[in-house]
Structures are given as C-alpha cells and as structure tokens.
Amino acid sequence: MTKKYTVAFFTGCIMDVMFRRINQLSIKLLTEVGCEIVVADNQTCCGALHAHTGDPVQSKVLAKQNIDAFEKENVDFIVNNAGGCGAMLKEYDHLLEDEPEWAERAKRFVKKSKDISEILVLCGGIRGMNHSPERVTYQPSCHMTNVQKVTKEPVQIIRSIPNVELIEMNEAGMCCGSAGVYNIVHYDVSMAILDRKMENVKETKATTIITTNPGCLLQMKLGIEREGLSDKVRTLHLVEYLAEAAGIS
C-alpha cells in the first residue's frame, strides 16, 4: 500500500500501562490504512489528571516535554486513541498561551493532534471489515465531543462495518459519570449518573457498548457488572471493535 501519512503515535500513560493491547491494535490499524508510524522518544503523560486535580504547574511541565519530544519528529499528525488525553493535548495552546517561548510551539502541536478515528476516516477507512450480525451502541466521550469536537468520525466508521447495527441510546451525549477523576472524588453521584446511563443502554438492546476513552471504558464495564449483564453485554474500545471486524489481533 502507498504511504498516505507519517504519524506520531501518542502512547499515553494509562493507555500504555492498562490498555497496551489497544495501543498495539491502534498502530496495526493505522498501518493497515497506509500510515507510517513513529513513536516519539521521551513522550510522557498528557497532564490531564494533574489538571483535573488542580496542578497546572505540573501539567505545563508535561506539556512542554511532549511538545519538545514530538517536534523532533517530521510527521503529518500526532495521533491519540483516548478521548481524555486527546482533549488535554488539544488544550496545550491554552495552557501555555502566557509563555511566549512556548505559545507558538503549542499551537503547532495542537494543529497536528488528531484522534485515531479522524485519521482512519481521512485514509478512507479500513478495508475488508466484516462482522457477525450484532446490535451495538456508542458511548461518546465528553472530552472528545466537547473539547476535540470529534463526533462524526467514530459513528461513520462504526456504520461502515457490514452486519453491524448501530443504535443510538437516549441521552447519548450525557456523561457516563467517569469524567476524569469525578468518579473517585464524587463516587455516589457518579454511580447515580452511571445507573441512568445504563438504563439508556439497556433500552437499545445492544450487546456491545463501544467507547473511545479509558475512563468511559472502565465506567461502562462497571455499569455492566452493576446491572448483572456481564454474560450478555460487553464494552470495547472503538479500536478493539474495528480490529475485531478487520480480523486484526
């Protein structure tokens, strides 16, 4: 296949430790659609959890390290697969706007930063996908929707899978209750939000919930357990589901 783009893959910290398989599948999918992959040395945590807990100083330190690391690579895009991480990367220009030596560098970084679904669609989608007949629903990440403004691409690529019926749940745009560290610092409220979300999921009669963020993924897995649906419903990251449909392991 002719190379379409050279992309730098942002591994993240939670994704690389807890969901390394999703990272590995992401690289395989990007390669499948014609991307040459670079994994930048010295990249680090995006800084989102530090920002969520009121530590912008450390967030800036991490942002500068990432900007410096990825500037060394001659790539068309910087690709991530986590809604929350991607949102933080997209806000580096705001985070560093008061620092003249970093402001323009941050803007250039943000311009290249993309969610993996955007790149997969830009490359024309994944060839040869197929799946056994299944009804699925999509839980959009709030960070992807409200910060990255990525809403169409995940839906478009799910709908492109033969035999898969995508059923939009009621109140699809409502948060699942994970929200960074919200489910830790406001557990009871988070669980109430999750319970409402799961009622909407059940109405779709979907057997797979597709998400695009590690926080959402863990939260929805918990929701399935709380509802006693572990033998009937599963939750997968979008990358996992696409790889399954493409026969990539």
- Rounded to an integer, the average pLDDT of 115-127 is 97
DSSP 23-68: HHHHHHHHHHTTEEEE--TT----SHHHHHTT-HHHHHHHHHHHHH
**pLDDT score of 106 more than 90:** yes
Indicate the average pLDDT of the chain: 93
Spatial CA neighbour of 153 closest among 178, 130, 174, 124: 124
Check whether 185 has a pLDDT greater than 70.
Answer: no
Task: Classify residue 200 by burial, with Cβ atoms within 10 Å: 0-12, 13-18, 19+.
Answer: middle
Residue 11 pLDDT grade (very low, low, confident, very high; cuts 50, 70, 90): very high
- The pLDDT score that the predictor gives to residue 198 is 92
Secondary structure tally for the chain: helices H, strands E: 14, 8
8 Å CB contact between 248 and 29 = yes
Tell me, what DSSP letter sits at residue 128?
T
C-beta separation of 213 from 84 below 8 A: yes
pLDDT tens figures, 41-86: 999 999 988 887 788 899 999 999 999 999 999 999 999 999 989 9
The pLDDT value given to residue 95: 95
Q: How do residues 136-178 score in pLDDT, each as one tens digit?
A: 999 999 889 989 999 999 999 999 999 999 999 999 888 887 7
Domains of the chain: 5-121 (3.40.50), 128-246 (3.40.50)
Question: What pLDDT, on the 0 to 100 scale, is given for residue 181?
Answer: 64
